[in-house]
Amino acid sequence: MNWDSTPTDTAADGRLVGAAADGEDQAVEAALRPKSLAEFVGQERVREQLDLVLKAARQRGATADHVLLSGAPGLGKTTLSMIIASEMEAPIRITSGPAIQHAGDLAAILSSLQEGEVLFLDEIHRMSRPAEEMLYMAMEDFRVDVIVGKGPGATAIPLELPPFTLVGATTRAGLLPPPLRDRFGFTAHMEFYGPAELERVISRSAELLDVTIEADGAGEIAGRSRGTPRIANRLLRRVRDYAQVKADGIVTREIAAAALKVYEVDGRGLDRLDRAVLEALLKLFGGGPVGLSTLAVAVGEERETVEEVAEPFLVREGLLARTPRGRVATPAAWAHLGLTPPQGGGTGGTGQGDLFST
């Protein structure tokens, strides 16, 4: 395997339930990555479709079509790209959009590919425009024009490329220019995982890490993993620590729950920050609507932290809504924190007068 670079914006936000990879994740993830499509848990539709694409290419003795993988951090895009290479018995070259500053960087990579090689381009939405344009031609015609010289004397020398499979990954498919998106033969959109799938991810990882875990214990961790295998694996490691230090090493439901209480990850996967935001919204503002800045001041965080770190998951969980008039708590938020909404409707709009009346 060839590492041209490591992705640059995977710096973790320091949260146990953050979806970006931290240093420990990066060290452990290689060992936990499924190596074949059969081992890859969940994403049934994507797996079935990809299986067909790869099998058909193998039967024809051809290089597989270009594949775009889109989905939130930690759902398995890098893992799938490696699986594609191993299923095709092809070497893989790994690079990322931010690592490709100039079209020349891309030309150098493309011209050194072997026939059938998989080129994994992580964060493909962050590539520079000239590189992107070079990629269009490379993907479609397996050819690039290398510009030699400068000014009026510059000439374009066409360079034939061996057939290769581009696997692009992005957390922001919407940011890809349509001409680039259209050049992928197959696009896989990865969804968040359900509890049963996460339970399988956790059981599988526990086995690889030599951790004894009961089905209930895996279920307890799964429910707090925010639909994300990376978070599931991280929580499993913390629970393992607790089980080892405080008990006999066996992860039961009780041990998992007690461990995650210590780490302040609640039954739904909310951490301290998420709960602080919800609590402020409910207790100080009667469930809203309240402006983002006011809410941020109330929890003592930056506006951006509340908006980008806490809110997306709260919105996804149906606990908080962003409305034109401000942030509003849903009835589920009141229920989750065990509070009673003020009289006259729980979803806000009741005014400050009702704030302390319940």
32 near ligand ATP (CB under 6 A): yes
Look up residue 275 and give its two tokens. 């709960």
Nearer to ligand ATP, 34 or 91 (CB): 34
Cα–Cα dist 264/258, whole Å: 10
Buried b (16+ CB within 10 A) or exposed e, 314-335: beebebbbeeeebbbbbeebbe
252 annotated active-site: no
The H helix count followed by the E strand count for the chain is 15, 10
Given candidates 4, 12, 73, 145, which one binds ligand ATP under the rule CB under 6 A? Answer: 73
Query: Is 104 labeled as ligand-binding?
Result: no
The residue type found at 50 is: L
Is there a catalytic annotation at residue 171? yes
Count of C-beta atoms within a 10 Å radius of residue 308: 11
Q: Has 340 been annotated as catalytic?
A: no
Can you state the angle between helices 215-222 and 253-262, rounded to 10 degrees?
30
Among all residues, whose Cβ is closest to ligand ATP? 76
Instruction: Point out the residue whose Cβ comes nearest to Mg ion.
Output: 78
Beta bridge partners of 69: 169, 188
Nearer to Mg ion, 117 or 123 (CB): 123
Give least dist CB 173 to ligand ATP, A.
Answer: 12
Q: Is 327 annotated as a binding residue?
A: yes
Rounded to the nearest whole angstrom, what is the least distance from the CB of residue 93 to ligand ATP in the complex?
Answer: 16
3-state secondary structure of 23: helix
Integer angstrom CA distances of residue 351 from 255, 290, 347: 43, 10, 11
Cα 209 to Cα 262: distance, rounded to the nearest angstrom: 22
Residue closer to ligand ATP, measured from CB, 184 or 334: 184
233 binds Mg ion (CB under 5 A): no
70, 233, 330, 350: which one binds ligand ATP (CB under 6 A)? 233
Site for ligand ATP in 310-329 (CB under 6 A): none
Distances in whole angstroms, Cα of residue 95 to Cα of each of 65, 126, 170: 19, 12, 13
CB 80 to ligand ATP: min, Å: 7
33 forms part of the interface with ligand ATP (CB under 6 A): yes
Q: How far is Cα 317 from Cα 302, in angstroms, rounded to an integer?
A: 22
Is-catalytic flag, 122?
yes
Of 73-92, binders to Mg ion (CB under 5 A) are 77-78
Q: If 0-12 CB within 10 Å is exposed, 13-18 middle and 19+ buried, where does residue 253 land? A: middle
Minimum CB distance to Mg ion, residue 25 (Å): 10
Contacting ligand ATP within 10-29 (CB under 6 A): 10, 20-21, 29
Which of the following is catalytic: 63, 171, 228, 330? Answer: 171
The entry of ligand ATP, Mg ion, none near residue 171 (CB within 5 to 8 angstroms by kind) is ligand ATP
Q: Among this protein's residues, is 246 annotated catalytic?
A: no
Q: Provide the binding-site residues for ligand ATP, judged by CB under 6 A.
A: 10, 20-21, 29, 32-34, 40-43, 73-79, 171, 201, 229-230, 233
Active centre residues (catalytic): 77-78, 122, 171, 230
